[in-house]
Amino acid sequence: MLGLVAVLFQRIPGSLVPAEDQGYVFLVTILPPAASISRTREVTKEATVALMKNPAVANVVTFSGFDLLSRALKTNSGISFVTSRTGRCATIRRRTHATWRRR
């Protein structure tokens, strides 16, 4: 049993950004249930602009009105697909989180 634990400990990534990092991030936007699609578009546009200011971001593709988590069309949800310029997402997460936390 100890041998199995030792093997698994060596094989499972222990870092914050695992080797499986493919260079893209999903950003899910969820507003209150009664939010209109126009308000959702404004919020997702604001998020897209903030993401594009990050030098590590190559592209952002955003869909307003789609909830990826439930795979349903909802006026209060949006999804953004963010592609990293470097192929790693740690820089995107760190810089974008710091920008939105200041608000």
89 compared with 43, residue with greater pLDDT: 43
Query: How far is C-alpha 50 from the geometric centre of its chain's CA atoms?
Result: 13
Domains, the chain: 21-101 (3.30.70.1430)
User: Per residue in 16-71, pLDDT tens?
Assistant: 555 566 778 888 989 999 899 999 999 999 989 988 888 888 889 999 999 888 88
The whole-angstrom separation of Cα 77 and Cα 70 is 10
Q: Among the residues of the chain, which ranges form H helices?
A: 2-11, 37-52, 90-101
Q: What is the pTM of this model?
A: 0.66
Q: Over 70: is that where the pLDDT of 100 sits? A: no
Query: Of all helices (H) and strands (E), which one includes residue 72?
Result: strand 72-84
